[in-house]
């Protein structure tokens, strides 16, 4: 619910930081735009809607999110077309998904019209922060956290919803090496694996660090019971092109995040008449396909990376080299097509792109 008198107030910064950023050399997530959106939830409604200069916020040491983990977020991107207009890729899907996460984490939902209005007004104000350089974009981070100062294991009664933005370059500067994880687990049946909850990422940091120390960019997570079936890879969903069929782990067990890029790839593949199957993908199936030469391609998909081609897969002490990146027709074609749609140089046949005016 939104307060009856709710209206977004805007306080513009007096000094822009934009000239201090080298847009030709942007590190992912290190620079932030001039403004941010903030809203507060109390007494059963979202209110105090405002856009203010980007800056630190004040929370109580008893802030419920710090103690009990009620925090969720989204990730999306804005681009500029050749006419200088700002384009956002599938924002309504992010508006829907943040509420799926909110419901699972006992957080009050954000009305979709509030989400979209806040996003639009913020991007209108900071449109100059959307990069025009090749491979760059404006990363958008909406998030909600329990802000009530309370020590007690219960859903909080006060929350803060914010949107911040950050000009970014490529998330991965090169194809990734991954390790199939068979000891630690990311999610289990009945858990919160399908939600974009902050705790999912915190719990993954330690096993991911162990893999990185051995030279692997990401882990490929497997099921928590037998570690026989692939679920997702680090910050991405994962796809395998085997025997002319594109396969990806299904979402039935709710242990895998339903990625917006993942869904986009499925739609595109069907449109291109590429056989695609969502199913339980076994580790053994993938390893055998590598060994007998039927695996043509493997890649991760996500907002940050879009398409991250997998160069090497480690399993049970063996590094398996995958086909050369330059020979991979499907992932290269998908990556190029998605980038063109997002930047307005390819017809938007799926009506995925929203223009900010």
Distance between CA atoms of 87 and 70, rounded to whole angstroms? 31
| H-type alpha helices, the chain | 64-68, 91-104, 112-125, 198-213, 260-271, 283-292, 329-342
pLDDT tens column, 310-348: 999 999 999 999 999 999 999 999 999 999 999 999 999
The residue among 104, 201, 102 whose CA lies nearest residue 161 is 102
Residue 225: what pLDDT? 96
Please state the rounded mean pLDDT for residues 105-129.
97
Does residue 174 register a pLDDT over 90? no
pLDDT tens column, 9-46: 999 999 999 999 999 999 899 999 999 999 999 999 99
pTM of the model: 0.96
Does residue 155 register a pLDDT over 60? yes
Give the Å distances, CA to CA, from 300 to 42, 120, 220, 239.
Answer: 39, 29, 10, 6
Distance between CA atoms of 116 and 218, rounded to whole angstroms? 32
pLDDT tens column, 59-76: 999 999 999 999 999 999
Domain boundaries, the chain: 9-168, 176-342
Distance between CA atoms of 155 and 148, rounded to whole angstroms? 10
Residue 1: what pLDDT? 61
- Identify the residue whose tokens are 């695609």: 276
Q: What is the mean pLDDT of the chain?
A: 96
Does residue 5 register a pLDDT over 60? no
Crossing angle of helices 260-271 and 91-104, in 10° steps, is 130
pLDDT tens column, 202-226: 999 999 999 999 999 999 999 999 9
Of the pLDDT bands very low, low, confident and very high (cuts 50, 70, 90), residue 4 is low
Distance between CA atoms of 170 and 26, rounded to whole angstroms? 9
Residue 304: what pLDDT? 87
Listed as own residue / partner, the contacts of 123-126 with beta carbons closer than 8 Å and 24 or more positions apart are: 123/78, 123/86, 123/88, 123/165, 123/356, 124/356, 125/10, 125/12, 125/34, 125/35, 125/51, 126/33, 126/34, 126/35, 126/165
Distance between CA atoms of 140 and 123, rounded to whole angstroms? 9
- The CATH code of domain 9-168 reads 3.30.470.10
3-state secondary structure 240-272: EEECCEEEEECCCCCCCCCCHHHHHHHHHHHHC
Give the Å distances, CA to CA, from 346 to 128, 263, 308, 343, 349.
Answer: 23, 18, 21, 8, 9
pLDDT tens column, 239-292: 999 999 999 999 999 999 999 999 999 999 999 999 999 999 999 999 999 999
For 342, what's the count of Cα atoms within 13 Å in the CB-facing half-sphere? Answer: 26
Distance between CA atoms of 192 and 186, rounded to whole angstroms? 10
Distance between CA atoms of 238 and 287, rounded to whole angstroms? 15
Residue partners of 209: CB distance under 8 A and separation at least 6 = none
Give the Å distances, CA to CA, from 186 to 172, 183, 314.
Answer: 22, 10, 18
Dig out the tokens for 58 from the structure.
């004040």
Which CATH superfamily hosts domain 176-342? Answer: D-amino Acid Aminotransferase, subunit A, domain 2 (3.20.10.10)
Of the pLDDT bands very low, low, confident and very high (cuts 50, 70, 90), residue 2 is low
Residue 170: what pLDDT? 83
Distance between CA atoms of 200 and 155, rounded to whole angstroms? 18
- Identify the residue whose tokens are 């020979």: 327
Residue 305: what pLDDT? 84
Residue 204: what pLDDT? 96
CA Rg, the chain, in Å?
A: 21
Instruction: Judge residue 349's burial from the number of C-beta atoms within 10 Å of its C-beta, 0-12 exposed, 13-18 middle, 19 or more buried.
Output: exposed
Dig out the tokens for 141 from the structure.
């981070």
Of the pLDDT bands very low, low, confident and very high (cuts 50, 70, 90), residue 3 is low
Residue 97: what pLDDT? 98
């Amino acid at each position: 619910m939104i307060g009856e008198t709710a209206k977004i107030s805007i306080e513009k910064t007096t000094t822009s930081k934009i000239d201090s950023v080298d847009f030709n050399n942007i590190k992912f997530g290190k620079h932030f735009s001039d403004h941010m959106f903030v809203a507060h939830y109390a007494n059963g409604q979202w209110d105090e809607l405002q856009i203010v200069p980007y800056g630190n916020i004040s929370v109580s040491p008893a802030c419920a999110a710090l103690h009990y983990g009620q925090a969720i977020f989204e990730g999306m991107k804005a681009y500029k077309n050749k006419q200088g207009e700002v384009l956002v890729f599938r924002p309504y899907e992010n508006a829907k998904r943040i509420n799926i996460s909110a419901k699972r984490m006992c957080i009050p939902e954000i009305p979709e019209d509030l989400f979209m209005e806040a996003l639009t007004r913020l991007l209108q104000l900071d449109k100059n922060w959307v990069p025009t350089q090749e491979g760059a974009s404006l990363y958008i981070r909406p998030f909600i956290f329990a802000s009530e100062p309370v020590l007690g294991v219960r859903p909080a009664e006060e929350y803060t919803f914010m949107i911040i933005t950050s000009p970014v370059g490529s998330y991965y500067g090169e194809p990734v090496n991954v390790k199939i994880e068979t000891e630690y687990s990311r999610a289990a049946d009945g858990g919160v694996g399908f939600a974009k909850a902050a705790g999912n990422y915190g719990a993954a940091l330690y096993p991911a660090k162990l893999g990185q120390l051995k030279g692997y960019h990401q882990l490929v997570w497997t099921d928590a019971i037998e570690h026989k079936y692939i679920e997702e890879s680090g910050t991405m969903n994962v796809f395998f092109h085997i025997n002319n069929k594109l396969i990806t782990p299904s979402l039935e067990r709710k242990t895998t995040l339903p990625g917006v890029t993942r869904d986009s790839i499925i739609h595109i593949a069907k449109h291109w008449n590429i056989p695609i199957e969502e199913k339980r993908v076994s580790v053994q199936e993938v390893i055998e396909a590598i060994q007998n030469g039927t695996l043509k391609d493997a890649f991760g998909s996500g907002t940050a990376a879009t398409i991250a081609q997998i160069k090497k897969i480690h399993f049970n002490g063996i590094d398996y080299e995958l086909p050369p990146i330059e020979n991979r027709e499907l992932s290269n074609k998908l990556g190029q097509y998605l980038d063109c749609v997002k930047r307005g140089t390819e017809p938007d046949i799926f009506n995925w792109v929203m223009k900010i005016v």
